[in-house]
């Protein structure tokens, strides 16, 4: 499932290809995504120019020149790419948007259809929707006092807290495991028992792991590709995620896997003491 680094990579790839371009037509397939595409949105979208492309959590926001916002979530298997119009349309392509630059198209492909594309009339409505879904702050530049307080006030394990999009936006299973390894914290530790020093270490580890993953263009486990269709490379840098049974590259102990917060959780039993 794409997490923050993958979504950020899509945004950075799409930005130079979309900003300043106008949508000249929109086509939606028969099968619905997680939220259905409304026919009325086509009329509202055609003729609009893209003014900015940005990310919020795992959401991609296209800012349009009439104040409207096309908001896209990649779900589990979504691929949002700008391709040549000539390029054969792959199966599971659910949305296509022609651009005023000849021969280019924005396409949304999603095998499992957990993704969505929604046209909001204004920035305010997008923000209201994010607030209603309880979306927490971005992981970069997090206020240390906020983070310490969130850790200190819950009896959940740190792995579960990292996955909570209301505490911090954009972190999923992969980068939660990698950040806990970086911070040398066992994933089953109770968050309120961390103390300020360990909480600070974890906050910094989250930002640093996510930044490195963005530099690596995200991780391709199955379907993920960036906005220009290229796969990610950060999966080659994983130190615990998917490394069960392999030696830790810090201490050579064997990486273990447990089920925690409903998710497969990977850690080094030597570096991440409980």
Give the total residue count for the chain. Answer: 274
263 is catalytic: yes
Please, which residue, 147 or 181, has the CB nearer to Zn ion?
A: 181
* Choice among 21, 58, 107, 150 that is catalytic: 58
80: left (phi over 0), alpha (psi -120 to 50) or beta: beta
271 near Zn ion (CB under 5 A): yes
Please, which residue, 28 or 158, has the CB nearer to Zn ion?
A: 158
Per CB under 5 A, the list member of 251, 262, 264, 273 interacting with Zn ion is 251
d(CA 82, CA 56): 20
Per CB under 5 A, the list member of 53, 62, 80, 268 interacting with Zn ion is 268
Please, which residue, 12 or 250, has the CB nearer to Zn ion?
A: 250
Residue nearest to Zn ion (CB): 248
* Choice among 201, 237, 263, 269 that is catalytic: 263
DSSP for the chain reads ---HHHHHHHHHHHHHHHTT-BEEEEEE-SS--SSPPPHHHHHHHTTPBEEEEEEETTEEEEEETTS-EEEEE-TTTEEEEEEETTSPPPTTEEEEEEESSTTEEEEEEESS---EEEEESSHHHHHHHHHHTT----STT--HHHHHHHHHT--SBHHHHHH-TTTSSS--HHHHHHHHHHTT--TTSBGGGSHHHHHHHHHHHHHHHHHHHHHTT---SSS---TTSPPP-GGGG-SSTT-TTSBPTTT-PBPEEEEETTEEEEE-TTTS--
270 near Zn ion (CB under 5 A): yes
Per CB under 5 A, the list member of 206, 225, 248, 260 interacting with Zn ion is 248
Tell me the site size for Zn ion, rule CB under 5 A: 7
3 is catalytic: yes
Please, which residue, 149 or 249, has the CB nearer to Zn ion?
A: 249
244 near Zn ion (CB under 5 A): no
58 is catalytic: yes
Nearest approach, Cβ of residue 258 and Zn ion (Å): 15
Please, which residue, 95 or 205, has the CB nearer to Zn ion?
A: 205
- The one segment of 31-39, 112-120, 141-149, 247-255 that binds Zn ion by CB under 5 A: 247-255
Per CB under 5 A, the list member of 250, 257, 258, 263 interacting with Zn ion is 250
Nearest approach, Cβ of residue 188 and Zn ion (Å): 16
| Active site amino acids | 2-3, 58, 263
- Site residues (vs Zn ion, CB under 5 A): 248, 250-251, 253, 268, 270-271
């Amino acid at each position: 499932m794409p997490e923050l680094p993958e979504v950020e990579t899509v945004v950075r790839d799409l930005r130079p290809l979309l900003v300043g371009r106008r949508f000249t037509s929109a086509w939606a397939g028969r099968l619905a995504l997680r939220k259905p595409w409304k026919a009325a949105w086509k009329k509202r979208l055609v003729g609009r120019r893209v003014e900015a492309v940005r990310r919020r959590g795992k959401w991609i926001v296209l800012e349009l020149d009439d104040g409207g916002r096309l908001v896209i979530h990649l779900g589990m298997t979504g691929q949002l790419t700008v391709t040549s119009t000539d390029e054969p349309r792959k199966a599971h392509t659910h949305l296509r948007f022609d651009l005023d630059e000849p021969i280019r198209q924005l396409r949304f492909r999603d095998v499992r259809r957990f993704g969505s594309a929604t046209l909001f009339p204004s920035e305010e409505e997008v923000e209201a929707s994010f607030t209603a879904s309880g979306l927490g702050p971005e992981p970069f530049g997090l206020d240390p006092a906020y983070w310490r307080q969130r850790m200190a006030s819950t009896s959940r394990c740190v792995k579960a807290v990292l996955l909570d999009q209301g505490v911090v936006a954009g972190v999923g299973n992969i980068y939660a495991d990698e950040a806990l390894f970086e911070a040398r914290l066992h994933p089953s530790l109770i968050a309120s028992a961390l103390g300020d020093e360990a909480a600070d270490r974890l906050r910094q580890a989250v930002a640093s792991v996510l930044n490195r993953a963005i530099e690596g263009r995200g991780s391709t486990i199955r379907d993920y590709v960036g906005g220009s269709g290229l796969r990610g490379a950060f999966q080659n840098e994983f130190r615990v995620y998917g490394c069960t049974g392999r030696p830790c590259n810090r201490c050579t102990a064997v990486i273990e896997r447990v089920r925690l917060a409903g998710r497969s959780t990977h850690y080094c039993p030597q570096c991440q003491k409980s």
